[in-house]
Structure 1
Amino acid sequence: MPNPIHELLAQKGVLLADGATGTSLFAMGLTSGEAPELWNDNAPEKIVTLHQGFVDAGADIILTNSFGGTRHRLKLHHAQDRVHELNRKAAEIARSVADRADRKVIVAGSVGPTGELLEPLGALTHDEAVAAFAEQIEGLKAGGAEVAWIETMSAPGEIRAAAEAAVRVGLPYVYTGSFDTAGRTMMGLAPRDIHSVVDGLAPPVAVGANCGVGASDILASLLDMSEAKSDAIIVVKGNCGIPEFRGTEIAYSGTPELMARYACMAFDAGASIIGGCCGTSCEHLRAMRDALDHYVRGGERPDVDEIVTSIGPLRNKQANQSGAIEGASRRERRRARH
């Protein structure tokens, strides 16, 4: 399969992925409980503005507005019969912006979790999950997405199902976990184990982490991932600091200066694709672009103490301080509450 990410990495050495889709769309008027994917049809001009802002800020990769684009998520908005249409439109909008840029910009089709639990914890079978992801990725491919970007994942089985779907459809793929539970994903996956999730399938273009807690925590996860497989192409898209209430509004504590430092530390820690997740605006992304463009890599990997000194304290335990048993107990408590 053609691999635009490897080609662009060979030219540039490090790539800048885009920033926060959800945070940006809420700022444009998206309301809580509204499906962002419906804006691909109802308000495409706002999605164009979103992508154009990130391209103007220097992004090499933009993610389509399709995170919740499986039938399982869209059924919450009575749109489960519009999977192909909404994902195709998401990719077409991003493609239109990328094609106008004065440089190569990669369109990555965002694929988020289904929101369902796979067997044996839930009712969704592996084959059903693969079919749902394939339906979504078919739409993204039809609209011009060049890679499937499987993100914010927690369950290894769901990552594998989405990866299998991407291979079936014929798109190269990236996948990232969200290490938000004591340094692991909610389903107990440790950062250093991210590489082996799709063993036996066509290999991914890149793997990594996104979202989670704050920038310091994702950098700690990055150290584990790059130590486990030093030759891997690793993605990090960290949150812009920590969410906090300012009056009645939620804002993120990260400044452009902090995100610039995060980007450079991520590069030193082994990431080749660096972006932002929740709270990361075009202003933050522009600072990251400028920092990476002028940064001379020192060759020394930072350690956790250096990350804390430069970026701020960890908000969570590290993965080596927690375990799958602890994660399983937490999941059982959560299930008991619902």
Structure 2
Amino acid sequence: MTNALRDMLDSHDVILADGATGTTLFNMGLAAGEAPELWNTEQPKKITALYQGAVDAGSDLFLTNTFGGTAARLKLHGAEKRVHELSRVGAELGREVADRAGRKVIVAGSVGPTGEIMEPVGSLSHALAVEMFHEQADGLKEGGADVLWLETISAPEEYRAAAEAFALAGLPWCGTMSFDTAGRTMMGVTSADMAKMVEDLDPAPLAYGANCGVGASDLLRTVLGFAAQGGDRPIIAKGNAGIPKYVDGHIHYDGTPELMGEYAVMARNSGAKIIGGCCGTLPVHLEQMREALDTRPRGAAPTLEEIAAMLGAFSSASDGTGDDAPGNDRRSRGRRRRG
């Protein structure tokens, strides 16, 4: 078992993760509805460029192009028999980039949701979910991933199934959820719920947190919610680069590089140890985030008013955790900055 990320967590004040996979690949020509994972074998030079862009911008860690790599997701493209292959190749390409970086860079094997609803609400059983996640995890491990990285999860049942699968694969892991529904995940999980859940898992993730969601302001409010629980497990923040706008037939995120630099500093001051970007975050954003983290001194945790003033209004008045929880303050809603 590799301990590369654990070692980096011990040696670094803060770890800069990568940015957006999908946004970058769309800019490279990926068509809407096309499975990005197929590019691991069909367009390997572009996937290498995706990884290299993050490394060149200063990222200490990047995710593999395997987010939709479970059998359930690949079945939509007739590629459900290629789970192990596509995950292995995605990690192999990442390993090559990381090994020639001239410094330690972590390859994190990305694992996204299955897209299915788990029992008892849906039809996906725990056993089948574990099997699907295990199959992908084995491919990522064989390809040389340092750590498995679960992301954009909404249901606690799916999070637990992935944790069990990762234990079977024998790799350390991290896991984030997406808090996109008035401070909760789509399945109702709050920041406090997640902080408790991860401590009950065996093995627990090396780090946990939030990614994607609505915007950077909401994500930082969730990070403050994690920090308020008082645990010592490292927190992950991977917020979107602003809010999506539909312009000339394409989705555009309005967060500027300068704004993402401010977000990175606020994320660190809010308690996050691993900080990156999600949708819309390009290398130019990562460069500003790297510079801001390296040159700006650590400060006190920002207030909700300060977050709203700098990054824009929250999408909801409450973070979903109750009257006395961080975020349930209508006064914190401010005017959103334009990117």
TM-score by length of 2: 0.93
Match for residue 337 of structure 2? none
Q: How many angstroms apart in 2 are the aligned matches of 1:218 and 1:22? A: 19
Q: How many angstroms apart in 2 are the aligned matches of 1:91 and 1:186? A: 29
The total of aligned residue pairs comes to 322
Q: How many angstroms apart in 1 are the aligned matches of 2:249 and 2:123? A: 38
Match for residue 121 of structure 2? 121
Match for residue 329 of structure 2? none
C-alpha offsets along residues 50-76 of structure 1, whole Å, 9 cap, x if unaligned?
000110000000100000000000000
Percent of residue pairs identical: 57
Match for residue 133 of structure 2? 133
Of Structure 1 and Structure 2, which has the larger fraction of its residues in helix? 1
Look up the SS of the partner of 1:319 in the other structure: coil
Match for residue 296 of structure 2? 295
Confirm or deny: 8 A CA contact 1:154 1:186 kept in the other structure: yes
CA offset at residue 321 of structure 1?
A: 6.5
Long gaps (5+) in structure 1: 324-338
Match for residue 219 of structure 2? 218
CA offset at residue 246 of structure 1?
A: 2.3
Q: How many angstroms apart in 2 are the aligned matches of 1:196 and 1:61? A: 26
Q: How many angstroms apart in 2 are the aligned matches of 1:303 and 1:230? A: 20
Which residues in structure 2 correspond to 1:32-43 (within 5 Å)? Answer: 32-43=32-43
CA offset at residue 320 of structure 1?
A: 3.2
Match for residue 260 of structure 2? 259
Match for residue 327 of structure 1? none
Confirm or deny: 8 A CA contact 2:192 2:321 kept in the other structure: no
Q: How many angstroms apart in 1 are the aligned matches of 2:308 and 2:317? A: 13
C-alpha offsets along residues 72-112 of structure 1, whole Å, 9 cap, x if unaligned?
00000000001100000000011110011010000000000
Q: How many angstroms apart in 2 are the aligned matches of 1:5 and 1:318? A: 34
TM-score by length of 1: 0.93
Confirm or deny: 8 A CA contact 2:64 2:110 kept in the other structure: yes
Distance 1:2 1:241, change over 3 A: same
Match for residue 82 of structure 2? 82
Confirm or deny: 8 A CA contact 2:129 2:162 kept in the other structure: yes
- Is 1:97 matched with 2:97? yes
Confirm or deny: 8 A CA contact 2:261 2:285 kept in the other structure: yes
Runs of 4+ in 1 over 4 A off after TM superposition: none
Look up the SS of the partner of 1:274 in the other structure: strand
Match for residue 70 of structure 2? 70
CA offset at residue 322 of structure 1?
A: 7.2
Q: How many angstroms apart in 1 are the aligned matches of 2:92 and 2:257? A: 30
Once the two structures are overlaid, the 10-residue window that deviates more, 240-249 or 175-184, is 240-249
Match for residue 107 of structure 1? 107
Q: How many angstroms apart in 2 are the aligned matches of 1:284 and 1:245? A: 20
Confirm or deny: 8 A CA contact 1:4 1:146 kept in the other structure: yes
Q: How many angstroms apart in 2 are the aligned matches of 1:59 and 1:120? A: 40
Q: How many angstroms apart in 1 are the aligned matches of 2:247 and 2:128? A: 42
Confirm or deny: 8 A CA contact 2:221 2:319 kept in the other structure: no
Match for residue 231 of structure 1? 232
Look up the SS of the partner of 1:167 in the other structure: helix
Distance 1:57 1:51, change over 3 A: same
C-alpha offsets along residues 253-302 of structure 1, whole Å, 9 cap, x if unaligned?
1000100000000000000000000000000000000100112112x111
Match for residue 180 of structure 2? 180
Confirm or deny: 8 A CA contact 1:259 1:288 kept in the other structure: yes
Amino acid at match of 1:36: P
Q: How many angstroms apart in 2 are the aligned matches of 1:266 and 1:158? A: 26
- Is 1:55 matched with 2:55? yes
